[in-house]
């Protein structure tokens, strides 16, 4: 880039690499240094969903941070920091820990910790449930012990009575 002063004015001329592209700027304004590019915001992390298809039977253990959808048969424990969905016609045998559990199929095992459990009309569960919220649709089948609504920091009326005695 070439800079020079015109003899008749105080205007500064800038010449680019191409001679026909001269730019005139007022004398009080020097060209600004190039501005650094704005930082690109980090993309929001969206939990991904893993699927066990309807024609699969798997035995093992599932652990992770994403969502899991079971449409086939799974034997083993499931511990995820996302949602677990057991579809109609699917069967899970094992214990469950997840943020939200939606059951349309069968579950033989306990739901040990969940913020929300939805038992839909086609669901069948044989096991205990420990959750903050529980929704049971008409037609759902459940055999087991249920503890819900006792989120952290709350105490049961039974423990309050025993402490007073």
DSSP letters, 21-44, are -EEEE-TT-PPPPPPPPPPPPPPP
Q: pLDDT tens digits for 58-69? A: 999 999 999 999
Model pLDDT, residue 6: 52
Tell me the β-bridge partners of 63.
79
Quick one: pLDDT at residue 160? 46
Answer yes or no: are the C-beta atoms of 100 and 85 closer than 8 Å.
no
Give the model confidence (pLDDT) of 80-121 as tens digits: 999 999 999 999 999 999 999 999 999 999 999 899 999 999
The predicted pLDDT at position 140 comes to: 97
Beta carbons of 29 and 47 less than 8 angstroms apart: no
The predicted model scores a pTM of 0.64
């Amino acid at each position: 880039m070439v800079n020079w002063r015109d003899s008749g004015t105080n205007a500064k001329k800038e010449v680019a690499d191409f001679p026909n592209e001269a730019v005139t700027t007022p004398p009080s304004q020097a060209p600004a240094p190039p501005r650094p590019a704005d930082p690109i915001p980090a993309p929001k992390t969206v939990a991904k969903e893993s699927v066990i298809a309807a024609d699969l039977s798997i035995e093992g253990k599932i652990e992770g941070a994403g969502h899991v959808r079971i449409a086939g048969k799974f034997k083993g424990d499931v511990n995820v920091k996302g949602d677990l969905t057991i579809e109609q016609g699917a069967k899970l045998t094992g214990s469950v820990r997840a943020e939200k559990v939606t059951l349309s199929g069968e579950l033989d095992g306990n739901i040990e910790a969940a913020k929300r459990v939805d038992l839909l009309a086609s669901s069948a569960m044989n096991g205990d449930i420990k959750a903050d919220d529980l929704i049971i649709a008409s037609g759902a089948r459940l055999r087991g012990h249920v503890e819900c609504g006792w989120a952290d920091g709350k105490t049961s009326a039974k423990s309050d009575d025993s402490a007073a005695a």
